[in-house]
Chain A
Amino acid sequence: MSERARLGLFLGAATGMAVLLAWGMAGLPAFGAFHGAYALLIDHVVVAQRHATDAVTAVNFDYRGLDTLGEEFILFTSVVGLAVLLREQRSERERPPARAGEEHRFQGASCALRTLTLLLVGPLVVLALYVDSHGALTPGGGFQGGVLGAAALLLVFLGGGYLTMRRLSPHRLVELAEAGGAAGYGMIGVGGIVFAGAFLKNFLGYGTAGELISAGTIPLLSMAVAAEVSGAFVLLWSEFLDQALIVRRG
């Protein structure tokens, strides 16, 4: 199709789709006036039933924990998929690997800036752990904390260079953390079968609402997710980084 024909087809169709969407959305409750039975029920029972004060985390890791299992494995699959798609090709194998001895630094950064970057790593790790562990209490949880943890390692790269980052996070170890996190979530679920009779059913004491160790299996699941997510993002980034640093010699 010529670009004109394509655009014409699309614009005509998009007008129709806009009308249809408007027709469908007109049937939604007015903005702000929604009262879904499911949500109201969860809001009422979550603290009493689960001793978790953040209802969103409770839904994610408990009431609808299976969705999150699926979500973790989507992330896991994308990491495996990326490793497959960006693997070393037969035609690339002949050349020296990524200038082994060379340090790739954040170009144009002064020494002071690099030091500053490295100084930020510590607080970021602390923040990541905080967000991970307080998922059941306040906004945040394994996913957000996990990305922050991975970001801390990214700062190491910016400040210290590629090899420092690789030294700090040996590839195998990160891979194990990633796969282990994903499997760990599943295993905690299996623990539910063994100890409580249903997959992902809570089998720990709930503790006191508002305390760090409370809400049953939620903190455990959150930690598994954190391991999986930080591993996954480190692997995703380092795959792209490897690509960017390979100097092609065809």
Chain B
Amino acid sequence: MSALAYGTAGWLFLVGLYGIVTSRNLIHMVICLTVVQSSTYVLLLSIGYRSGAAAPVFADIPPGSRAVDPIVQALTLTDVVVEATVVALMLALAVQAHKRFGTLDPNELTPLRG
């Protein structure tokens, strides 16, 4: 199970990178970047999971009972917000790039070389 959980996180990181490297479209590339980022959510939450434990909400369970790690969840929440902002900024850049270049293919955006 450890191999599956952590392996999925590593796999998503690499698959997302593969998507970025082979991407021919900036919007596709931005979405692949979110796959890379989702790998960090999976890793954080997998690390913080505790077998048989409840969610860290002590409204339903008595205080002090066995619960999963609330810290990694708070970190992941921050991470999710970062995702939304990065996507927004990059899509804006993609939109403007399309206006200027008439294409979204990063291979064809070429004013900066050498």
Interface residues of A (CB under 8 A from B): 3, 6-7, 10, 14, 17-18, 21-22, 25, 28-36, 38-39, 42-44, 46-48, 53-56, 58-60, 64, 67-68, 70-71, 74-75, 77-78, 81-82, 85-86, 137-139, 143, 210, 233, 236, 239-240, 243
CB pairs A–B below 8 angstroms (6 shown):
A21-B13, A34-B69, A55-B67, A56-B73, A56-B74, A75-B85
> Which B-chain residue is minimally distant from A229 (CB atoms)?
B81
> Would A31 and B6 be within 8 Å (CB), given that A60-B74, A82-B89 are in contact?
yes
Contact A39 B89 (CB under 8 A): no
New contact pairs (9) apart from A3-B22, A18-B10, A35-B50, CB-CB < 8 Å: A25-B10, A30-B2, A46-B58, A53-B59, A56-B56, A71-B82, A78-B86, A82-B88, A85-B93
Contact B57 A138 (CB under 8 A): yes
Contact of A85 among B2, B46, B96 (CB under 8 A): B96
Q: Which of B2, B5, B7, B13 has the most CB of A within 10 A?
A: B2
Contact B22 A43 (CB under 8 A): no
Tell me the complex Cα distance, A210–B82, Å: 30
Q: Give how many A-B residue pairs fall within 8 Å (CB-CB).
A: 149
Contact A10 B18 (CB under 8 A): yes
Contact A75 B81 (CB under 8 A): yes
Q: Which of A25, A74, A81, A239 has the most CB of B within 10 A?
A: A25
Contact A82 B48 (CB under 8 A): no
Contact B96 A55 (CB under 8 A): no
Given the complex, which residues of A lie within 8 Å of B58, measured CB to CB? Answer: 46-47, 53-55
Contact of A243 among B21, B84, B95 (CB under 8 A): B95
Given the complex, which residues of B lie within 8 Å of A81, measured CB to CB? Answer: 89, 92
Contact of B49 among A34, A68, A75, A86 (CB under 8 A): A34
The 6 nearest A-B residue pairs measured at CB: A32-B51, A78-B85, A55-B56, A55-B70, A47-B63, A39-B69
Tell me the complex Cα distance, A75–B14, Å: 27
Q: For the complex formed, measure the closest distance between the CB of B39 and the CB atoms of chain A, giving whole angstroms.
A: 10
> Which A-chain residue is minimally distant from B63 (CB atoms)?
A47
Q: For the complex formed, measure the closest distance between the CB of A173 and the CB atoms of chain B, giving whole angstroms.
A: 21
Per-residue 0/1 for B42-68: is the Cβ within 8 Å of any A Cβ (1 yes, 0 no)? 000011111110011111000110010
Given the complex, which residues of B lie within 8 Å of A38, measured CB to CB? Answer: 71
Contact of B74 among A31, A53, A67 (CB under 8 A): A67
Per-residue 0/1 for B8-32: is the Cβ within 8 Å of any A Cβ (1 yes, 0 no)? 0110011001100110000000000
